[in-house]
Amino acid sequence: MQYIANSDYEDRDTEPLILKVGDEVDVGEADRTWPGWVWAKNATGCDGYVPVEFLQKLAGTRHKVIEDFDPCVLTLRRGDVLESLRQIHGWHWCKNSHGEQGWVAGYLLRPVGEPGVAQG
């Protein structure tokens, strides 16, 4: 489905949590704003939110990664047209017109064709 960015947005995470299948992480609190995302930390100390379905519980707070996770968040400019390739708990994995892919929070998007949204 195609969307239009309704605002500018730029992420500033300098040490994102990149996960590969088989990695193990410690899981902390669930995100209150985005249910279905949990705080995770890897062995090198990188941390960030991860969709809970990407993880399998081991023991205690330890979890194994069962699906690769790329934490890239797309930089947006108002009016950018994006294609949503996957949606998870209020976030969309999108591709922009330059072929770049990353996460975009749903509140930053409006479906193409929605009243009040200019189409290019």
What is the CATH number assigned to the segment(s) 2-12+72-111?
2.30.30.40
pLDDT given at position 118:
46
pTM: 0.87
pLDDT in tens, 4-54: 999 999 988 778 899 999 999 999 999 999 999 999 999 999 999 999 999
pLDDT of 86 higher than 90: yes
As a three-state string, the secondary structure of 13-24 is: CCCCCCECCCCE
CATH 2.30.30.40-classified regions of the chain: 2-12+72-111
